[in-house]
Amino acid sequence: MIRTFIKKITHPFLKFFTENYFNKTRNYTYKNITVKVVPSVFPPHYTISTKILLDYISSLDLKEKTLLELGCGSGIISLFAASKNATVTASDINKNALNALKTAADYNKLNLTILYSDLFQKLQKSPFDVIIINPPYYPKNPKNIKENAWFCGEDFEYFKNLFFQLDTREDKLVLMILSQDCDLEKIKNIADTHNIKLECVLEKKVLAENNFIFSIKKTFN
């Protein structure tokens, strides 16, 4: 879990590689859509979660569906969903990410609503057809805007707030990716206290790491 992650980024070579590689703005392309990933934004190149979500939504019929990417980072998922004719809202608390996404939307000639919002705070109350979440999941308090992409708070505050807020919403399909690298039991237990269960809709092993896409369902207990 966190040990694996710490091992991943504290290994001298990987630390040097990640710090230097992502200190520069890098392009990321998926099916003819290109975004510029600025240094303070979650890099979809190095992690595999973004790509797994992109491949998964490739198979969904998104035409005329409303879709929210909660915590959009580079926004590649939002742009791809817009290219599949969804009506997309992309939200984040990282203003650098949102500014870069505005430029990427123009560059790719795609329309979407880009919004600063802490979870659902500034988002419409009416339900979305689809919500996509690639959450931060390592238990540590984020010290800066970049770390918000990785750390969910020492006591998993991100998940506590997320499930609390989802409990009062009526969105149709809420998909969240997690991996064996995080404390799945803890996150499931937090969901449970809000009468929410995580139903696995995809399990995918990449480079010896199991990744899971969960559909977030209310249990009405």
Ligand X SMILES: C[S@@+](CC[C@H](N)C(=O)[O-])C[C@H]1O[C@@H](n2cnc3c(N)ncnc32)[C@H](O)[C@@H]1O
Binding site for ligand X (CB under 6 A): 42, 44, 49-50, 53, 69, 71-74, 77, 91-94, 97, 118-119, 134, 136, 148-149, 158
52 contacts 177 by C-beta, under 8 angstroms: yes
Q: Residue with CB nearest ligand X?
A: 71
Nearer residue to ligand X within complex by CB, 41 or 196? 41
Nearer residue to ligand X within complex by CB, 89 or 94? 94
Phi, psi of 32 (to 5 degrees): 70, 5
How many other CB atoms sit within 10 Å of the CB of residue 83? 17
Nearer residue to ligand X within complex by CB, 25 or 220? 25
CA 115 to chain centre: 15
Closest CA to 153 of 107, 118, 115: 118
Cα(86)–Cα(166) distance, integer angstroms: 21
Nearer residue to ligand X within complex by CB, 25 or 219? 25
Beta carbon of residue 72, minimum distance to ligand X (angstroms, whole number): 5
Cα(101)–Cα(79) distance, integer angstroms: 9
Beta carbon of residue 220, minimum distance to ligand X (angstroms, whole number): 26
Beta carbon of residue 142, minimum distance to ligand X (angstroms, whole number): 8
Beta carbon of residue 82, minimum distance to ligand X (angstroms, whole number): 14
Nearer residue to ligand X within complex by CB, 98 or 198? 98
Beta carbon of residue 169, minimum distance to ligand X (angstroms, whole number): 15
Nearer residue to ligand X within complex by CB, 165 or 197? 165
Beta carbon of residue 97, minimum distance to ligand X (angstroms, whole number): 5
For residue 183, give the 3-state DSSP assignment: coil
Tokens of 178: 């997690």
Torsion of CA 126, 132, 43, 52, to 10 degrees: -160
For residue 206, give the H/E element and its range.
strand 196-206
